[in-house]
A and B are shown apart, each in its own frame.
Chain A
């Protein structure tokens, strides 16, 4: 073997070994360092400065920042994090770089408004973002719908929700339900039917898998809440008549108060407890339910969407 070849082989081996060694060492160092020192940071936080720096390619930069926001939210959501400090600035930058980028308002405000771990729990920032979107895209009825939704669901501000749905209903080609929602909001804001109408509109008007799955899960949860309320009312009525709680749904059916065994939206039969409470069999599969959970039930950090959603 020629001397130069030997040197080449030796140098290549040393290079590869040193590279692997340095990676291994760095990983150990990362593990030893305080997490705060590795915290994510937004080096340029001014949308105006970024717009200038984009040299006119602000649309592309907006797409990059929006993708960063989606990745940031996805990563934090996956880890069950409760602090999403960079989400709002990332969304603000994406919106400022390209005010016509509707995805930022349509989905970003949902990420912002929902309570942790489903979102950042910042409904006021979501309202600000949506208002910015409406200012720049006044003919997009979906933005009014999203804003009304945030007022309704996250802020429980039914007056503002009604006013926003009403504003949206006057936009050309607006979904006809906006008018109905505005009226519903004014009269029956807290009712299940109103919530069902909102989630159904979301399901009908979105093509995005995550949004649709979320809407389906919420519709199922509303169904469970309604079923449990009705079934517990029937059980109470049985007790009033017979002086004791029914032992099963079959017993209630035999008394002529219902037909068959009731099932949840996943076609699994409800369970009746000895004290007249109604429970679902697998609450983990029915995220967002407020009724029908066993005592002491703690929902998983991350809502479980079924593969069929």
Chain B
């Protein structure tokens, strides 16, 4: 491993993280998802009025987002602590694997798991959509954009879960990550509050509003359900924002983990 280049080491850790997640039956959630989607597609047509297509998109994308968020948090918080508990981290670090490579590898592995998971769930959403609409429409392409934004959301949450797990216990990391997910969903309100305050309070609230992740901008589920297009600029800026925020959180995790006393 000594002679292995950096990219190979990161890829190796990422592959193992992916395998471990699969071994932990993470993809079992796909069965629950498939049941949910087929059940909704059949049931809603019978108990509601005029919203079959809307429900499939709203429920499908909300489930993809929530299932993925739960997976990102619950696996993300254990990525570091598990390796410490099982003492495998020490074995790994005695090899010339740098601590930052370990963090980045874990992040890439879990993100890969979530992308694969989302891919299969997306197939489920489109199958249910085909079942209720009998044919695809041009506007269904925006559902793909909404799925892409959900993946961006997962990247941020995974990075945050890793950040918290780099210095805290799994339980506290879960609490922090879930809290940030909820606060991030309210980030636009937070900015609204900031606009209403003055002086120091305004600075603090504005700072907090920009520090927490903005998940509301990444949520276009309702508008794509109504076949409304997503602006190209929004796709571009959301991508840039998610990548910058993720890199920031991963950098924080690396900074903390580099200084952490593992004895």
Interface residues of chain A, those whose CB is within 8 Å of chain B, are 52, 55-60, 62-63, 66-67, 70-71, 98, 100-103, 106-107, 208, 210
Closest-CB distance, B184 to chain A (whole angstroms): 9
Among A56, A67, A100, A103, which residue has its beta carbon within 8 angstroms of that of B185?
Answer: A56
- Measured between beta carbons, the chain A residues less than 8 angstroms from B185 are 55-56
CB-defined interface of B54-85 with A at 8 Å, one 1/0 digit per residue? 11011100100110000000000000000000
Contact present for A70 and B47 (CB under 8 Å):
yes
CB interface residues, B 39-54, toward A, < 8 Å? 44, 47-51, 54
Contact present for B49 and A63 (CB under 8 Å):
no
Contact present for B47 and A60 (CB under 8 Å):
no
- Measured between beta carbons, the chain B residues less than 8 angstroms from A70 are 47-49
A56 with B216, Cβ < 8 A, contacts A63-B59, A98-B222, A100-B226 known: yes
The reply on B100 being an interface residue by CB < 8 A is: no
- In the complex, A279→B225 CA distance in Å? 51
The reply on B189 being an interface residue by CB < 8 A is: yes
Contact present for B49 and A208 (CB under 8 Å):
yes
A63 with B54, Cβ < 8 A, contacts A71-B47, A100-B226 known: yes
Contact present for A59 and B222 (CB under 8 Å):
yes
15 residue pairs bridging A and B, Cβ less than 8 Å apart: A52-B186, A52-B189, A56-B221, A57-B65, A57-B221, A58-B222, A60-B55, A62-B222, A63-B44, A63-B54, A63-B55, A70-B47, A71-B47, A101-B51, A107-B50
- Measured between beta carbons, the chain A residues less than 8 angstroms from B222 are 58-59, 62, 98, 100
- Measured between beta carbons, the chain A residues less than 8 angstroms from B164 are none
- In the complex, A63→B226 CA distance in Å? 12
The reply on B215 being an interface residue by CB < 8 A is: yes
CB closest chain-A residue, reference B226: A100
- Measured between beta carbons, the chain B residues less than 8 angstroms from A67 are 44, 47-48, 51, 55
CB-defined interface of B173-191 with A at 8 Å, one 1/0 digit per residue? 0000000001001100100
Closest-CB distance, A133 to chain B (whole angstroms): 13
- Measured between beta carbons, the chain B residues less than 8 angstroms from A52 are 186, 189
The 9 A-B pairs of least Cβ separation, nearest first, read A59-B222, A103-B50, A56-B219, A60-B58, A67-B48, A55-B185, A59-B58, A57-B62, A100-B226
Query: Quick one: which of A57, A63, A103 has the most chain B CB within 10 A?
Result: A63
- In the complex, A102→B59 CA distance in Å? 18
Contact present for A101 and B221 (CB under 8 Å):
no
CB closest chain-B residue, reference A210: B49
Closest-CB distance, B54 to chain A (whole angstroms): 6
Contact present for A59 and B49 (CB under 8 Å):
no
- Measured between beta carbons, the chain A residues less than 8 angstroms from B226 are 100
Closest-CB distance, A67 to chain B (whole angstroms): 4
Among B50, B62, B182, which residue has its beta carbon within 8 angstroms of that of A106?
Answer: B50
Contact present for B50 and A59 (CB under 8 Å):
no
Sample of 6 further A-B pairs with CB below 8 A, known A60-B62, A70-B47, A102-B50: A56-B216, A57-B62, A63-B51, A98-B222, A101-B51, A107-B50
- Measured between beta carbons, the chain A residues less than 8 angstroms from B59 are 60, 63
Contact present for A60 and B51 (CB under 8 Å):
no
CB closest chain-A residue, reference B225: A59
Closest-CB distance, A36 to chain B (whole angstroms): 27
- In the complex, A230→B42 CA distance in Å? 48
A208 with B50, Cβ < 8 A, contacts A57-B62, A100-B226 known: yes
- Measured between beta carbons, the chain A residues less than 8 angstroms from B47 are 67, 70-71
Contact present for A66 and B225 (CB under 8 Å):
no
Contact present for A59 and B54 (CB under 8 Å):
yes
- Measured between beta carbons, the chain B residues less than 8 angstroms from A63 are 44, 48, 51, 54-55, 58-59
- Measured between beta carbons, the chain A residues less than 8 angstroms from B49 are 66, 70, 103, 107, 208, 210
Query: Quick one: which of A56, A106, A107, A208 has the most chain B CB within 10 A?
Result: A56
